[in-house]
């Protein structure tokens, strides 16, 4: 998918931060509204009515909450509204799910709902939720992600940050959160999602960010939808002109905090951007599929040497490898990868090799074929590129195509992986390549460049050792 120049640069740089483990997300109310939760205006509508005010004429909703507390000397009704609106069961959105799949170690949010935690749970990730100062002092064992709910949690509404007084005292009552956020903002690249210029949280959050590095501050990004005529906020041209001018002033002001605004035509672009980020990140992970009872038309040592060298080169090109320890293939993948890692441990890491040996016996009520299917789905979902080798097995006295390799191709195709069959290794891999060549444009955006390289990989007269660089060339072409 084509993006505007600034967004394209952001995606490229943010994926680099993901690969380096230095990316984070800051989620605002706009992330949860599509799931059915209310925005601030809806939340405060009844409160405004109680005060004899009209919500549509009020911009400072934080002060509105404070007025209600001043008048009633209690915030019990506001607390009840938070519980009513944000504790109901709701399904997380596609944006939540994509965020949960990204390799980030922390998420910050001003939202009260639990959709973010829910999304991580569905991805089998352990979320360590922090919404009080005391929770910052302890860590949940085996956590995968830290969710900082800096304005509180709907299940503890009496402690939620909501009134003007809450925000005014935040730097004292929640000083540890400010320090934690300041630390992450100086070491990680943040993507702000779901903030609008009418969100009362935004100004308060930014006013508490203490950047002390002047021109050396970290670059962060915010996705902002531009105003358009006849939307909810712009019923006429004069209002549009005013809001557009104000939006530009706020965008310029965000630069003081190192936050670069990326302007969107509509909210659907957020999902497209997140999907592209996920796809590009996954393309740095390569699934190697294959099994070999025999290595015809090659000698065993030549074939194993090729797999070893290919795996080594993939690691040296800073890709990650996922492998299910396929019969006759897995050991060479491991050895080649570890050779690259051990030769330069300061540059390469064992985290670049992800091994997922298949279950060998049934577990619980699930039959082995069902376990294998689930395992294949999870394993391949970690990657964006699938390489196929050989693909044969023994069936009695005969050598036949390995149906497991065929299945891994089908899963790869369904998940949108880019498939690279090394056709000269024959059997299932050759069948996969022949299928792809019947309509290559269905598999590659730049098929006119990739197909000649695949045909080179099909030629068994070319020594295997000379095909390693061809495979790397195919990888370089498909990740562009």
| Whole-angstrom Cα Rg for the chain | 27
What are the residues whose beta carbons fall under 8 Å from the beta carbon of 350, sequence distance 6 or more?
Answer: 338, 341
Instruction: Report the percent of the chain where pLDDT is more than 70.
Output: 95
Nearest to 170 by CA among 117, 213, 129, 206: 206
Task: Note the pLDDT of residue 370.
Answer: 84
Instruction: Give the Å distances, CA to CA, from 298 to 306, 316, 397.
Output: 10, 25, 20
Are the C-beta atoms of 321 and 419 separated by less than 8 Å? no
Nearest to 291 by CA among 372, 363, 367, 222: 372
CA angle 295, 297, 301 (to 5 degrees): 50
Task: Note the pLDDT of residue 432.
Answer: 96
Average of per-residue pLDDT values in the chain: 90
Active-site residue flag, 220: no
Segment 250-261 mean pLDDT? 88
pLDDT in tens, 288-317: 999 999 998 899 999 999 999 999 999 999
Using CA atoms, how far apart are residues 302 and 304, in angstroms rounded to an integer?
A: 6
Using CA atoms, how far apart are residues 308 and 248, in angstroms rounded to an integer?
A: 55
Using CA atoms, how far apart are residues 112 and 186, in angstroms rounded to an integer?
A: 25
Task: Note the pLDDT of residue 458.
Answer: 92
Task: Note the pLDDT of residue 363.
Answer: 66
Task: Note the pLDDT of residue 284.
Answer: 95
pLDDT in tens, 85-134: 887 778 899 999 999 999 999 999 999 999 999 999 999 999 999 999 99
Q: Which of 2-16, 47-61, 431-445 has the lowest mean pLDDT?
A: 47-61
| Token couple for 285 | 């992970």
| Token couple for 273 | 């951007």
Segment 397-402 mean pLDDT? 92
Helix (H) / strand (E) element for 286: namely strand 285-291
Q: How confident is the model at residue 212 (pLDDT cuts 50, 70, 90)?
A: low
Is the pLDDT reported for residue 213 higher than 60?
no
178-183 contact pairs (CB < 8 A, 24+): 178/208, 178/210, 180/136, 180/148, 181/108, 181/148, 181/150, 181/208, 181/209, 182/209, 182/210, 182/211
In the block, tokens 């993507």 appear at 191
| Token couple for 69 | 């507390």
DSSP 415: T
- Given 68, 131, 151, 227, which residue is catalytic? 151
Is the pLDDT reported for residue 201 higher than 60?
no
pLDDT in tens, 126-155: 999 999 999 999 999 999 999 999 999 999
Strand, coil or helix: what is 148?
strand
Segment 173-200 mean pLDDT? 85
Q: Is the pTM of this model over 0.85?
A: yes
- B/e letters for 299-337, b = 16+ CB within 10 Å, e = fewer, are eeeebbbbbbbbbbbbbbeebbbbbbebbbbbebbbebb
Task: Note the pLDDT of residue 61.
Answer: 83
Using CA atoms, how far apart are residues 39 and 256, in angstroms rounded to an integer?
A: 27
Segment 194-209 mean pLDDT? 66
Task: Note the pLDDT of residue 94.
Answer: 96
Task: Note the pLDDT of residue 8.
Answer: 95
CB atoms < 10 A from the CB of 419, how many? 22
pLDDT in tens, 327-377: 889 899 999 999 999 999 989 998 999 888 777 677 667 788 888 888 899
Q: Where are the alpha helices (DSSP H) in 283-402?
A: 300-316, 330-343, 368-381
- C-alpha 228: how far from chain center: 29
Task: Note the pLDDT of residue 80.
Answer: 86
Are the C-beta atoms of 23 and 189 separated by less than 8 Å? yes
Using CA atoms, how far apart are residues 311 and 348, in angstroms rounded to an integer?
A: 13
Nearest to 15 by CA among 261, 270, 277: 277
Pick left, alpha or beta for residue 194 (phi over 0 → left; psi -120 to 50 → alpha; otherwise beta).
Answer: left
Highest mean pLDDT among 57-66, 367-376, 400-409: 400-409
For helices 40-50 and 76-86, what crossing angle results, to 10°?
Answer: 150
């Amino acid at each position: 998918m084509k993006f505007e120049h600034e967004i394209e640069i952001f995606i490229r740089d943010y994926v680099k931060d993901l690969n380096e483990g230095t990316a984070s997300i800051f989620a605002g109310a706009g992330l949860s509204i599509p799931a059915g939760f209310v925005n601030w205006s809806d939340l405060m509508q009844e409160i405004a009515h109680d005060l004899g005010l009209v919500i549509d004429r009020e911009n400072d909703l934080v002060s509105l909450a404070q007025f209600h507390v001043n008048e009633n000397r209690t915030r019990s009704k506001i607390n009840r509204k938070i519980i009513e609106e944000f504790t109901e069961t709701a399904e997380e959105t596609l944006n939540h799910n994509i965020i949960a799949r990204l390799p980030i170690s922390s998420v910050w949010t001003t939202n009260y709902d639990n959709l973010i935690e829910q999304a991580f749970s569905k991805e089998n990730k352990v979320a360590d939720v922090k919404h009080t100062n005391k929770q910052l002092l302890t860590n949940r064992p085996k956590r995968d992600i830290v969710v900082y709910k800096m304005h509180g949690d709907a299940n503890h509404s009496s402690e939620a940050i909501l009134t003007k007084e809450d925000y005014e005292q935040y730097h004292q009552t929640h000083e540890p959160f400010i320090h934690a956020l300041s630390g992450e903002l100086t070491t990680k690249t943040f993507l702000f999602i779901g903030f609008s210029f009418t969100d009362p949280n935004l100004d308060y959050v930014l006013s508490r960010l203490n950047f002390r590095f002047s021109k050396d501050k970290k670059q962060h990004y915010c996705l902002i939808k531009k105003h358009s005529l006849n939307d909810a906020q712009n019923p006429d041209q004069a209002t549009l002109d005013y809001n557009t001018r104000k939006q530009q002033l706020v965008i310029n002001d965000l630069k003081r905090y190192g936050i670069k605004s990326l302007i969107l035509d509509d909210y659907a672009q957020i999902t497209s951007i997140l999907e592209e980020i996920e796809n590009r990140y996954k393309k740095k992970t390569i699934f190697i599929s294959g099994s070999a009872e025999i290595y015809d038309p090659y000698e065993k040592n030549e074939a194993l040497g090729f797999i070893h060298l290919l795996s080594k080169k993939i690691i040296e090109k800073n890709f990650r490898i996922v492998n299910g320890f396929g019969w006759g293939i897995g050991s060479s993948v491991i050895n080649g990868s570890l050779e690259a890692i051990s030769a330069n441990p300061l540059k390469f890491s064992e985290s670049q090799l992800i091994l997922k040996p298949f279950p060998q016996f049934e577990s619980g009520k699930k039959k082995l074929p069902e376990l294998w299917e689930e395992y294949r789905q999870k394993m391949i979902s970690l990657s964006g590129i699938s390489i196929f080798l050989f693909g044969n097995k023994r069936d009695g006295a005969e050598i036949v195509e390995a149906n497991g390799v065929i299945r891994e191709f089908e899963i790869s195709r369904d998940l949108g992986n880019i498939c690279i069959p090394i056709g000269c290794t024959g059997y299932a891999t050759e069948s996969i390549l022949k299928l792809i060549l019947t309509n290559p444009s269905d598999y590659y955006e730049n098929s006119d460049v990739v197909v000649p390289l695949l045909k080179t990989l099909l030629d068994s007269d070319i020594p295997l050792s000379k095909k390693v660089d061809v495979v790397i060339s195919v990888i370089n072409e498909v990740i562009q």
